[in-house]
């Protein structure tokens, strides 16, 4: 997503083989992250993954997000479209990269986040773009409110991925 309104990056150096780090990222589960479960439970009004047993990526998939790019052991990009500022999130299912890129319906926001593994460091970047000025303003207010929690969740992801990767190596 080369054009965006907002972004945030978190990074962690992980002393583990790339394959172990990549596997840990793909297998990361909600039940490994208390903070994420609490904050996502609040966001979804308790409608999310209650026991946290599925992977984080499958949880996003069930909401309508889809992998839109992947280079094995290097980068995974996941995209979603919605009205995230509403209680239901107004999510539209994304089937592939082309559908994600072509979507222009007004009053929606496109969100893409990645995991990128490079030189022993794993990062996650989140990018957001409104499809029009209305969506950009609405998401801006929503982002102001949730950004601190979103950042905490991303840092928790990276911490738990490191723990998993080091245990596996």
What is the tens place of the pLDDT at every residue in 107-138? 999 999 999 999 999 999 999 999 999 999 99
Residue 43 lies in a domain: no
CATH of the domain at 137: 3.30.530
Residue 52 lies in a domain: no
- C-alpha angle with apex 103: 84 to 57, nearest 5 degrees? 55
Q: What is the mean pLDDT of the chain?
A: 91
Give residue 40's pLDDT: 66
Give the tens place of pLDDT for each residue, 35-71.
777 776 666 555 555 556 789 999 889 889 999 999 9
Strand order in the sheet with 75-82: 6-13, 121-130, 109-118, 75-82, 66-71
Give residue 52's pLDDT: 60
The answer on pLDDT for 76 being more than 70 is: yes
Residue 41 lies in a domain: no
Give residue 49's pLDDT: 53
Provide the domain limits for residue 159: 6-28+64-168
User: Do the Cβ atoms of 81 and 94 come closer than 8 Å?
Assistant: yes
Residue 48 lies in a domain: no
The answer on pLDDT for 19 being more than 70 is: yes
Residue 58 lies in a domain: no
Q: Which of 12, 1, 48, 8 is nearest to 144 (CA)?
A: 8
What whole-number distance in Å separates Cα of residue 64 and Cα of residue 147? 21
Residue 155 lies in a domain: yes
Number of domains in the chain: 1
**Region 128-156 average pLDDT:** 95
Residue 59 lies in a domain: no
Residue 42 lies in a domain: no
């Amino acid at each position: 997503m080369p054009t965006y309104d907002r972004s945030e990056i978190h990074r962690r150096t992980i002393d583990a083989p790339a394959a172990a780090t990549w596997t840990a990222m793909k297998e990361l589960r909600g039940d490994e992250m208390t903070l994420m479960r609490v904050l996502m439970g609040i966001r979804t009004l308790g409608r999310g993954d209650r026991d946290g047993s599925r992977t984080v990526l499958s949880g996003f998939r069930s909401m309508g997000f889809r992998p839109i790019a992947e280079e094995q052991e290097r980068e995974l990009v996941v995209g979603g479209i919605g009205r995230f500022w509403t209680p239901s999130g107004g999510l539209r299912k994304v089937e592939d990269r082309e559908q994600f890129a072509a979507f222009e319906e007004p009053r929606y926001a496109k969100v893409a986040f990645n995991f990128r593994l490079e030189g022993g460091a794993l990062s996650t970047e989140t990018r957001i773009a409104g499809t029009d000025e209305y969506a950009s303003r609405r998401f801006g207010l929503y982002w102001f409110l949730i950004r601190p929690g979103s950042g905490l969740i991303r840092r928790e992801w990276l911490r738990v991925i490191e723990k998993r990767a080091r245990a596996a190596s």
